[in-house]
Amino acid sequence: MENSTIAFVRHGHDPHDVLVAVCNFTPVVRYGYRVGVPAADEYEEVFNSDSERYGGSNVGNLGRVHVDGVPSHGRKRSIAITLPPLAAVYFRPVRA
**CATH, residue 61:** 2.60.40.1180
Average pLDDT rounded to a whole number, residues 74-81: 94
pLDDT bin (cut points 50, 70, 90) of residue 39 is confident
Number of structural domains found in the chain: 1
pLDDT bin (cut points 50, 70, 90) of residue 84 is very high
pLDDT bin (cut points 50, 70, 90) of residue 16 is confident
3 state DSSP class of 67: strand
Q: Which domain holds residue 52?
A: 5-93
Q: What is the pLDDT of residue 3?
A: 80
Q: What is the pLDDT of residue 88?
A: 98
Query: How many degrees, rounded to 5, is the angle at CA 45 between CA 41 and CA 48?
Result: 160
49-53, 60-64, 92-96: which has the minimum mean pLDDT? Answer: 92-96
Average pLDDT rounded to a whole number, residues 37-52: 94
